[in-house]
Structures are given as C-alpha cells and as structure tokens.
Structure 1
Amino acid sequence: MEHIYTVGELTGFIKSYLEASPQLKAVSVKGEISNLSAPSGKGHIFFTVKDEYATLRGVMFKSRAEKLSFKPENGMKVLCTGRISVYPSGGQYLLYADSIQPDGEGALYVALEQLKRKLAAEGLFSSERKKPLPKIPMRVGVITSATGAAVRDVINVAARRFPAAEVTVYPSLVQGVGAAETLSAGVVYFNKTKKVDVIIIGRGGGSVEELWEFNSELLARTVAASAVPVVSAVGHETDFTICDFAADLRAPTPSAAAELVFPDSRDIIRRFENALARMRTLVGARISTERRLLESLKQSRALRSPTAGFDDLRLRIADNERRLHTATERKLQLIKQQTQSLKPRLSSAAVRAVGLQNMRLSALKDRLAILDPMSVLDRGYAAVCDSEGNTLTGVSALKEGQSFVLKMADGRADATVGKVELYGNDL
C-alpha cells in the first residue's frame, strides 16, 4: 500500500533531500533584490531574489549581515552565495545566504558610494591621520600577487633607484573571494613583525569586478589602523578604490608607488656631495678665522710681555686700596664732625624736655590736691555717714532720732538727728 505522508513528514523529507544535495550546499545565484526587509530586532535580513522567470526567497543571518560592505536596496542587482534548504513553517525553500555582492557596474557603484560615505563620516579618510613616508626607507614591504606584473615593477624600480633597500613580498590574492582577507593579513603581518619602514599594497589594472576586493571595508579599516605608512597602488591612472582613500598615500600604479617610495640614490649622493662641499667651505672659513685670531694674539702685549699685565694689575689694586682708605677716612671724619655739632643741640633739648615735664607734674599735683576729699575737710567741712560708713548726701536720707557719724579733718563724732528740715529750691 502506498505510504501516506503528513505535511510535516513530506516537508522534512524534501528538506533532507535538498540539504543532502552537493549542488545545493554551496550555490551562487544572481538576480534583482525585492521585498527587502530592514534588519529585524535580531539583526537578520529577509529578501527575495528574482529575474523575469522566477523568484527565490532568501535570508541572511545577523553574523553574516554585519559583515556586508554595502547596504542592499530593492532593485539592486546582486550575486548571492549560500545553501538551499526548506523553511518548514512556511513550506518554502529558501536561500540561506552567506554572502551578497553587488552584480553589475551600476550596483557596484551604489555599494561603493555607500561604503565611501560611511567610512568618510567616521574620519578614516581624514588628512589629519595620514602618516608621512620615511625619507630613506631601508626596508619596504609589498603586498600583491607573487606572480603578477606589479611585484616585478616594484622590484625593478627599487633596483634602479635605490638598490640598497630590502624588499619583502607578502604573497596575496588580489581578486575574487578571500582576496580582501589575505590583503588585510599582509598589513597585519608587517605591523606585527615591524620588519619594514613602509608598505606598498596593490595590483595592476582590471575590471571593476576584478578590483572590487580593494573596496572591502575590512581592508580599509586594516589599512587605516596600520602604524606603518601604507601606499595604495591599485589599477591604472583612473581607478580609485576605498583602499586608496584609507591609505596614507595613493599612487596610480604599482611602479608609480615605487617611484614615490624609493629615493633616487643619485640624488642622495648629490645631496651628500653638496653637503660635504658646504662643510668643507665652513671648515675652511673657520680655520681662516682662527688663524687671524692667532696672528692678532701673537701681536698682543700680553704675549709679548707676559709680566706687564701682572704689573698693571698690581698697580690698579694698590691704587684702589689707597682710594678706599682715603674715602673711609673722609667718611669717618664727616661723621665725627656731625656728632660734635649735634651735642649742644641735644643738651639744650634735654634741659627743655625735663623742665616741661616738671611743669606738667606740678599741674597734675595741684589738680589732685583739689580733688582730694581731705583738703575739703581741712577747710572746716564735715562728711555725714550712716552707721555702716556710707556717705549721706542729703537730709532726705535722715530721720528724727537716727544716729549718724560726722567725719572731720582731725577725727569723727557720733550724733543723733533732732529735727529734719528740707530747704526750698530758692535757697
């Protein structure tokens, strides 16, 4: 009896069959993108690839989508590489894309401009970060195909212009899948080993598709991050790549890059000879100057009569001692005269000051005598105090029969109030 499948079983059978097919494990398909969805919350991209005959749904997962060097758009011609399988829930076969590349010059141009704007906004092409090339590079690294014309051109120019330089070649793919990774690995290698003073990276001319790996975002970032200066030389005069913009210097061809990197040994020799001639002129002029100085010293009095200088010095010292002694004597005499003239003035001032102080002292004594209570009592007055010794200043403090004390100049007397009488205001 014929086996009857469930939908799930049949779909699973088709899925297993497709995934087991060697032809569908790694398939490349080109077409036009449509139904493109923005990256989902998980970062996946869903799209459809179509031509005039059919459509094929596809998906690119986040880990792959993050590595795209351009932004896919609806209507763009692309070349997709991946595997074919079945999405059971939808009952559709899908392209699980590992890579998506622009296909055709129009699509490539759009992708190139997208990446160029992105990297420029990050400052990767800024002139401020460009490093100068060394004046005399003794070790030069070349990243290119080991069998291409580019490496021969660089070596020939080096042999002609500066044969003393050591050229190290890092063999790399220069087109097709994986070229950007090997080119980037070469830049990393020369930075880690620190064996070169400058790097030349490039290849000869070709179509846009053949040069496309030099537009890789990975390569651009690696070149921009290089601590060793990088010269990019890709293609012909009119070919520009992202690598050219990221490098420290762009040359139109590999041979032109070598002309820029390797100094002309003949120019170096000429500069050395010119510097040597200038040095000889300067040394000769210095020798002539020193000779004239020596001749003038020979004619000087110091050399003709060495002791004459010491005699003059001794005379100057003696003269200075005499003038110092005379000046000191004059100063002391002047101070003595000034002191003598001040003596009478100081004596007179002292007498006047003492007399003035005596007068002030006598006046103070008189004022104190007037204020002394005993002097008032001496004139016949008496002080009235209560039994506790407090001075009473008026009769309002006394009562009839109250005892009080009279203090006089020569003693005191106890008394009793007989009658209290207040005087009027007119008294």
Structure 2
Amino acid sequence: MVQPITVSTLSSHIAQILERDELLRDLWVTGEVSNWKRAASGHIYFSIKDSGATIGAVMWRNSAVGHSWLPDNGDQIIAHGYVGLYPERGSYQLYVNRIQPAGRGQLYARFEALKAALADQGLFAQERKRPLVSVPQRIGIITSADAAALRDILRVLAARWPLVDVLLFPTLVQGVDAPRQIVQALAAAHHYSTTTAALDTIILARGGGSIEDLWAFNDEAVAYAVAQSAIPVIAGVGHETDFTIVDFVADFRAPTPSAAAAAAVPDRTEISDQLRQRQRLLLEGAFRQIDVAQQHISQLQGRLRRIAPQRQLDQRRQRLTDRTERLHNDYRYHLHNFRQQLTSATARLQALNPHSIL
C-alpha cells in the first residue's frame, strides 16, 4: 500500500507543479467577467468564463489601484497573470495583475453612452460655460504631485505670467481610486476658495496615455463635479487627439497640460507689446490734440490781431471821454440858463409884490 500523504502535502505538490509550468506562470486569458466583487480591503474577486468553462480570479489591491478602467459583469476582457493554487479551498485560480477590455469597442460604447446622457442633461451646452478670467491672481491645479504634467504647467505659468499664485490640490490621475480623489480635490479647491483666498481658475490635467489610462476622466462623478464647479475649469488631459468626458464638461478644453496653462494666463510679452502699443497710441493722440490746440490758438491770435481789441478799447474810451465832456458842457449850459431864468423870475416877483409898491 502506498504511504498516504496529508492534504497539505498534496496541495503543496500541486502548487509546485503549477509554479514550474511556464505557460501557467505568465499568460493572458480572455473571457467574460462574472461575480465581480470588490472587497473592503480593495482586493477584487471575480470569475472569467466562456461557453465551456469558468475560472476564479483575484486581483490584489496594489494591482487594482493602477487601473483607471475596471470591467463590470458581462464585459469581455483580457487578463494577464499566473495560475496558482488556493490551498484553503483546494482550487486553482488566476492571479491577475493586468486587465483590459477585449477590444476597444466596449470602452467606446461606454464613453458614447455617458456622453449622450450628459449631453441630454445640458452639461455640454455652450451657454453654461463660464468665461475665463483674463488676468487671474490665483490658480488651482488638480493633478498628480509627481507628474510631468505638473512640471509642464508650472514651467509655462512661470514663463508667461510669473505674478500668478499657484496652489496644488494633488490627486491620483489613474487607477481605480482616481475618480474619487479627483472629486475630493475639486471639493478641496472650492473649500479653499471660499474660506481662504478666491481661486480664479482651476486646471484639471494629466499627461497622455491609452484610453484605459485616461478613463478616470470619463467617470460620471468626475463629470458632475466639474460641471457643478463654481470656479471656471480648464481641462488639459492627454494629447491633442485624446478626448474625455471632462473635455466636454469643462469650461475650456486645452489639448495638453501645457496648453491649459497657456490658456489660463496672459503672455507677459504680449501684454508688454500691447502696453507699448497703447502708450504709442496715447502719445500720438496727445500730440494730435496739442497740434489741434495750437492751430486753434493761432487762429484766435489772428482774429485778435484783425479785430485789434486795444484799438477798439481806446476808441471807446475816447468816445466815452467825449460824451462825458459834452454831458458836462450841456449840464453847465442848462444850469446857467436855469439860473438866469430863476433870477429874472425872482425880479418879476419882486416887482409885483404889493409891499414893495407901497
């Protein structure tokens, strides 16, 4: 009789066989997702099936957090990992470290469905988009703290308009936790704006990547958070050919993070040129007004010379003197006549006085 072995020994032997098989150590498996469940620990448990078989699968949290897109039940996927034994249940399962849709069609279908739903709600309407502040004092940036996108944004802001204050609200921009963190970062930016110092603009950005990498910016909760923002939002996600739901909801869509920074602030070189141009126009206008005033003064001086006001004044003074003299002469003449008439009348009265006759 063959010596019996323990269950643990058998399980260990089977596990070693699985580990030595090169095919099972590194493989891609395609099938339909079912029994999808994300535990409180962040680990994900599910099954992959086709018409003939089913295999259990697990994705540990440290692998799951790196995925912006994760499937739902019924999705066709391609999963990468290795096959190992789960001793407690005596069953083998697929330990998944990467997962992607089996063809981009599913992702695009989801994208278009959400896009249509949000468009019907008016979230893409041009009339609800707010104009950007032309010369902002303070800008909030929502992106990863160690991303190249942040360095690009800061470089452009410093070159174009170094006077602007910049505040970073860091967040994951990829992975299963990214949508929640982006929404939280938007809320933090609004809290800062209302309680500490007003933000004029928010830049929401990340660098380029695949549709799966950018999937956090196609999240419905993120779209609503951007649409409800009281502060104008500039979306600078991916490259010029990349489009996400956030691009349609944001107040301004920039093709890259660098372009988002350029759209957020004026160019100091252009401002300097504009100021010099305005200064030149002001000086030209002032000189024109001075020329017009000088011409007007010259015309007035000519008119003054023609009408000779001093001569006219002298003539009027002479006429006044003459008339005054004539008035005095007339007064003296009439006074003399009056006195003569008074003397004559007095003499006649004396002659007729009865006392004088007696």
One-letter code of the match for 2:44? S
Q: Which is greater in Rg? A: 1
Cα distance, 1:276 vs structure 2: 0.3
Contact 2:71 2:101 in 1 (8 A): no
Paired residue for 1:264?
A: 267
Give the secondary structure class of the aligned counterpart of 1:210. Answer: coil
Match for residue 122 of structure 1? Answer: 121
Aligned partner of residue 255 in structure 1, secondary structure: helix
Assess if the C-alpha contact under 8 Å between 2:226 and 2:250 holds in 1. Answer: yes
- Deviation (angstroms), 1:170: 1.0
Following superposition, the deviation at residue 176 of structure 1 comes to 1.4
Tell me the amino acid that sits aligned with residue 254 of structure 1.
P
Match of 1:167 in 2: 166
Structure 1 residues 145, 27: closer, same or farther in 2, change over 3 A?
closer
Q: Following TM superposition, by how much is the alpha carbon of 1:244 offset from its aligned partner in structure 2, in angstroms?
A: 0.8
Displacement, 1:294? 2.5
Identity %: 37
1:29 is the counterpart of 2:45: yes
Cα distance in 2 for partners of 1:271, 1:286 equals 22
- Contact 1:70–1:111 (CA under 8 A) maintained in structure 2: no
Offset of residue 102 of structure 1: 8.7
Residue from 229, 233, 244 that aligns with 1:226: 229
Question: Matches of residues 18-167 of structure 1 in structure 2 within 5 Å?
Answer: 27-31=43-47, 52-54=52-54, 103-104=101-102, 105-167=104-166
Q: CA deviation at 1:306?
A: 11
Matches of 1:116 and 1:70, distance apart in 2: 18
- Residue 77 of structure 1 and its aligned partner are, at CA, apart by 5.1
CA distance in 2, matches of 1:307, 1:246: 81
After TM superposition, the runs of 4+ consecutive aligned structure 1 residues lying more than 6 A away are 69-73
State the distance in 1 between where 2:50 and 2:43 align.
15
- CA separation in 1, counterparts of 2:114 and 2:278? 49
User: Deviation string for 1:281-315 (max 9, x for gaps)?
Assistant: 1011112212222333334458935987xx8xxxx
Please tell me whether the aligned partners of residues 233 and 252 of structure 1 are also in contact (alpha carbons under 8 angstroms): yes
Residue of structure 1 in register with 2:343 after alignment: none
SS for the counterpart of 1:29 is: strand
Matched, 1:289 2:262: no
CA contact 1:162–1:265 (8 Å) conserved in 2? yes
Quickly say closer, same or farther: Cα 1:116–1:30, change in 2 above 3 A.
farther
The one-letter amino acid of 1:126's match is A
Could you say which structure has the greater relative contact order, defined with CA pairs below 8 angstroms and 6 or more residues apart?
A: 2
CA distance in 2, matches of 1:265, 1:252: 22
Distance in 2 separating the partners of 1:225 and 1:27: 32
Query: What are structure 2's unaligned runs of at least 5 residues?
Result: 1-38, 57-68, 80-98, 317-358
8 Å Cα contact 2:47/2:54 also seen in 1:
no
Give the alignment of 1:181-200 within 5 angstroms: 181-194=180-193, 195-200=198-203
Contact 2:182 2:222 (C-alpha < 8 Å) held by counterparts: yes
RMSD: 3.4
CA contact (8 A) 1:31 1:51 kept: no
Cα deviation, residue 142, structure 1: 0.9
Q: What SS is found at the alignment partner of 1:250? A: strand
Name the structure 2 match of 1:180: 179
| 1:153 partner letter | D
Q: Which residue of 2 aligns with 1:44?
A: none
Q: Give the Cα–Cα distance (whole angstroms) in 2 for the partners of residues 192 and 294 of structure 1.
A: 63
Over residues 245-293 of structure 1, what are the superposed CA-to-partner deviations in whole Å (9 max), with x where a residue is unaligned? 1111112211121122232211110000000000001011112212222
Q: TM-score, normalised by structure 1?
A: 0.49
1:327-383 Cα offsets, whole Å, 9 max, x none, are xxxxxxxxxxxxxxxxxxxxxxxxxxxxxxxxxxxxxxxxxxxxxxxxxxxxxxxxx
- What residue in structure 1 maps to residue 14 of structure 2? none
Structure 1 gap ranges (5+):
1-22, 33-48, 57-68, 80-100, 312-427
Partners in 1 of 2:203 and 2:156 — Cα distance? 13
Task: Give how far 1:171 is off.
Answer: 0.8
Q: Structure 1 residues 160-169 or 240-249, which shifts more?
A: 160-169
